[in-house]
């Protein structure tokens, strides 16, 4: 039997941008998270975060600079969750892709489901000075 929650769709869109997701330090990101399930989803909350983490060798480090926990307990197909956000980015750390380590920035949306696998979606972006 197929899990209906896996058919839920989370989309993360950034306002005013095409496919390029590059931001300068101290820029403000404006966007929308939309959750449109194909069937009713019972959950504990919807959590939207913006932050960075490291990947590669060594211990994983991370920091969340924005978190919004929406107290939603049910999401219906005919009534999607639409959440707008504005986040001012810090001056650092900048995105980095080296041989041994990477610094990855992302917007993450999670539907927190009790006693089951959560529904997740992430949109990576680059934080670096472009001037």
pLDDT tens across 29-74, in order? 999 999 999 999 999 999 999 999 999 998 999 999 999 999 999 9
d(CA 124, CA 45): 22
More confident residue, 112 or 19: 112
Q: Does domain 4-126 have CATH number 2.60.40.640?
A: yes
Contact 89, 28 (CB under 8 A): yes
């Amino acid at each position: 039997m197929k899990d209906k929650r896996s058919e839920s769709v989370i989309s993360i869109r950034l306002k005013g941008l095409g496919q390029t997701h590059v931001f300068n330090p101290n820029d403000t990101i404006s966007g929308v998270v939309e959750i449109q399930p194909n069937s009713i989803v019972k959950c504990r909350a919807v959590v939207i975060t913006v932050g960075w983490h490291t990947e590669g060798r060594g211990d994983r480090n991370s920091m969340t600079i924005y978190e919004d926990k929406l107290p939603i307990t049910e999401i219906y197909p005919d009534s999607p969750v639409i959440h707008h956000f504005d986040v001012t980015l810090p001056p650092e750390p900048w995105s980095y892709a080296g041989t041994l380590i990477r610094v990855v920035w992302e917007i993450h949306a999670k539907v927190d489901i009790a006693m089951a696998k959560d529904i997740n979606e992430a949109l990576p972006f680059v934080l670096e000075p472009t001037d």
